[in-house]
């Protein structure tokens, strides 16, 4: 039974960051930061930690639907059952609030990073991706327009990757999907780049509108890392970004790979033994264990599918 917590952690960390991606939210000093996640869980403990909850500081851990500790607060609103929306607030940001956070309900953790910038800076988020992986960035707009675009750099003078009136388009490694989110009455333009390579790092623009002058636009940065064992991500405008991301990924690989090998071996052995001596009680236990893991994997991948669209849901 010792194997259980490690295994659980491995699958969580693997599923939590599809493609190893995390978003760093650049926010101005003195402003309030809010982020919300849709979480499918019927568990009662809600938490917010600095870094991960083990090595970091537990800021809030509560069974209440609202809790506050200094400038930090969380609010949980139940929607569909089981599950709800977890909102995290950090009031009056100071430079010392910069860093990695983990929040969640029960065993469904979500990670995010905040980088507090000077008041004259630009609040542009950074999306970290792995070389060879995929970056999928959600741009939200308040109103519907038929023309959607996606550019590298600024659209004026930059490179127009996509300019379309369709709701789904692909061009080489670049694609967009567009849809209305009926519950929140907002429009989601998702910009996707596959097979990331180092030269993809930099500024991008997504937008809606027929002419550039009247379009609503959003800018974001993509930062591609090439080596999980070394702190990567060299974005010219901001060289000191995420080191923890790559480190976590490295740990996942180092710890989870052997565990996965052990699990597969255990399952194969147990199946073989089950065939040989069906009556043995011991073997029954081993098989049951494997089935439990499968259920957990399914539940977590399922709940994560719900949250992917929430990654950029700062309000």
Q: Interface mask (CB under 6 A) for ligand NAG, residues 12-51, using x and -?
A: ------------------x--------------x-x-x--
DSSP letter string over 108-128? Answer: EEEEEEEEEE-TTS---EEEE
Q: Interface mask (CB under 6 A) for ligand NAG, residues 102-131, using x and -?
A: ------------------------------
Task: Compare residues 103 and 128 and give the one whose CB is closer to ligand NAG.
Answer: 103
Task: Compare residues 160 and 260 and give the one whose CB is closer to ligand NAG.
Answer: 160
Name residues contacting ligand NAG, limited to 162-221 (CB under 6 A): 163, 167, 173, 178-180, 197, 199, 211-212
d(CA 218, CA 143): 13
Task: Compare residues 144 and 294 and give the one whose CB is closer to ligand NAG.
Answer: 144
Q: Under the criterion CB under 6 A, does residue 96 sit at the interface with ligand NAG?
A: no
Helix spans in the chain (H): 3-16, 244-276, 281-307
Distances (CA, A) of 82 to 33, 43, 104, 213: 27, 9, 14, 45
**Site size toward ligand NAG, by CB under 6 A:** 28
Region for residue 35 given its phi and psi (left: phi exceeds 0; alpha: psi -120 to 50; beta: otherwise): beta
d(CA 27, CA 185): 25
Question: Which member of 44, 94, 143, 280 binds ligand NAG (CB under 6 A)?
Answer: 94
CB-based burial of residue 136 (10 Å sphere; 0-12 exposed, 13-18 middle, 19+ buried)? Answer: buried
Task: Compare residues 156 and 282 and give the one whose CB is closer to ligand NAG.
Answer: 156
Of 54-62, 75-83, 226-234, 275-283, which segment contacts ligand NAG by CB under 6 A?
A: 54-62
Task: Compare residues 7 and 208 and give the one whose CB is closer to ligand NAG.
Answer: 208
Task: Compare residues 147 and 314 and give the one whose CB is closer to ligand NAG.
Answer: 147
Task: Compare residues 192 and 263 and give the one whose CB is closer to ligand NAG.
Answer: 192
Helix (H) or strand (E) holding 181: strand 174-181
d(CA 206, CA 154): 9
Question: Which member of 15, 85, 124, 160 binds ligand NAG (CB under 6 A)?
Answer: 160
d(CA 204, CA 152): 5
d(CA 54, CA 57): 8
User: Which residues would be at the binding site for ligand NAG (CB under 6 A)?
Assistant: 30, 45, 47, 49, 53, 57-61, 69-70, 92, 94, 144, 149, 155, 160, 163, 167, 173, 178-180, 197, 199, 211-212
């Amino acid at each position: 039974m010792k194997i259980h917590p490690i295994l659980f952690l491995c699958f969580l960390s693997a599923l939590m960051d599809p493609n190893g991606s995390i978003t760093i939210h650049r926010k101005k000093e003195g402003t309030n930061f809010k982020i919300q996640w849709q979480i499918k869980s019927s568990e009662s403990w809600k938490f917010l930690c600095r870094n991960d909850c083990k090595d970091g500081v537990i800021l809030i851990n509560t069974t209440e639907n609202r809790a506050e500790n200094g400038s930090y607060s969380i609010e949980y609103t139940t929607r569909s059952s089981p599950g709800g929306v977890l909102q995290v607030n950090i009031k009056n940001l100071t430079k010392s609030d910069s860093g990695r956070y983990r929040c969640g309900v029960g065993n469904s953790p979500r990670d995010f990073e905040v980088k507090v910038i000077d008041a004259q800076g630009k609040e542009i988020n950074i999306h970290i991706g792995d070389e060879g992986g995929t970056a999928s960035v959600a741009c939200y707009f308040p109103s519907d327009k038929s023309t959607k675009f996606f550019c590298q750099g600024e659209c004026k003078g930059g490179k127009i990757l996509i300019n379309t009136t369709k709701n789904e388009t692909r061009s080489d490694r670049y694609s967009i999907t567009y849809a209305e989110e009926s519950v929140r009455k907002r429009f989601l333009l998702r910009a996707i780049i596959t097979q990331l390579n180092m030269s993809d790092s930099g500024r991008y623009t997504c937008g809606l509108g027929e002419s550039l002058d009247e379009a609503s636009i959003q800018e974001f940065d993509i930062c591609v890392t090439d080596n999980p064992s070394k702190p990567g991500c060299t974005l010219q405008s901001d060289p000191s970004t995420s080191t923890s991301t790559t480190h976590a990924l490295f740990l996942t690989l180092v710890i989870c790979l052997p565990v996965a090998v052990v699990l597969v071996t255990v399952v194969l052995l147990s199946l073989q033994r089950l065939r040989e001596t069906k009556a043995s009680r011991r073997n029954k236990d081993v098989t049951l264990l494997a089935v439990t893991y499968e259920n957990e994997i399914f539940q977590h991948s399922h709940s994560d599918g719900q949250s992917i669209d929430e990654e950029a849901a700062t309000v």
